[in-house]
């Protein structure tokens, strides 16, 4: 299975396993700009009903920032934050909008590494039970049984983005898959933090049909 080229310091294509030919090549990229706003994640204009669940998935770092700004608990869910924002008065919303602009401006001047691929690629790989692995050091996503062996050297820092056992994706695969990828990212961050290790602010978000993983460059 071909995976994405390492954009920094030239192209580098690797193979891992025998994944389906229809899964496209990944295109990791290094980026110093990241301008995110609530508009990118379809913030509802009114608070969702208690028995419903929003399909909005905020990036983990943005969620933590908004939780702090709104006075929520640090581990507040997307729905909790969106509900707080939807019920806030206009003065609070104006302050929040200014804070988000400062947040976006600060991020735009920081160094971040990004790796984007289509949600459909994740869905296809999971449907075929292909392991999916992101390496923060190599800045690439690999598919197939050999992926984990490929990233056990040279200071690699891999994270599994899909379980090897089959998932029941149902009829909402385009929502279920990104949610589960984000959950794996959250587990990775929590595990690294528990052992006092850096997680490089690894994050993920969906914009359109693209799922983007981003993190601070490793030293």
**DSSP labels, 50-106:** TT--------HHHHHHHHHHHT--TT--HHHHHHHHHHS-HHHHHHHHHHHHHHHHH
Instruction: Report the C-alpha dihedral over residues 190, 124, 127, 173, rounded to 10 degrees.
Output: 70
The model's pLDDT over 111-124, given as tens digits with 9 standing for 90+, comes to: 999 999 999 998 88
Instruction: Give 140's strand partners.
Output: 135
Tens of pLDDT, residues 203-219: 999 988 899 999 999 99
pLDDT at 167: 66
Q: What is the pLDDT of residues 59-108, one digit of tens each?
A: 899 888 888 887 877 777 888 888 888 888 888 888 888 888 988 898 88
Between the alpha carbon of residue 51 and those of residues 47, 54, 84, 90, 101, the distances in Å are: 11, 10, 16, 26, 32
């Amino acid at each position: 299975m071909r995976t994405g080229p390492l954009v920094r310091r030239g192209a580098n294509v690797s193979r891992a396993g025998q994944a389906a030919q229809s899964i496209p090549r990944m295109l990791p990229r290094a980026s110093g700009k990241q301008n995110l706003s609530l508009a990118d994640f379809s913030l509802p204009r009114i608070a969702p009903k208690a028995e419903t669940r929003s399909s909005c998935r905020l990036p983990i770092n943005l969620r933590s920032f908004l939780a702090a700004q709104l006075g929520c608990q640090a581990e507040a869910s997307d729905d909790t934050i969106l509900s707080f924002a939807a019920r806030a008065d206009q003065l609070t919303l104006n302050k929040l909008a200014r804070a988000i602009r400062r947040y976006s401006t600060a991020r735009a001047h920081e160094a971040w590494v990004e790796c984007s691929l289509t949600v459909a690629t994740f869905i296809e790989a999971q449907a075929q039970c292909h392991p999916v692995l992101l390496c923060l050091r190599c800045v690439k996503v690999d598919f197939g049984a050999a992926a984990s062996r490929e990233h056990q050297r040279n200071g690699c820092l891999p994270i599994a983005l899909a379980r090897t056992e089959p998932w029941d994706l149902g009829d909402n695969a385009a929502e279920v898959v990104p949610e589960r990828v984000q959950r794996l990212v959250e587990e990775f961050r929590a595990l690294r933090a528990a052992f006092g290790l850096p997680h490089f602010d690894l994050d993920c978000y969906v914009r359109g049909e693209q799922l983007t993983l981003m993190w601070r460059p490793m030293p």
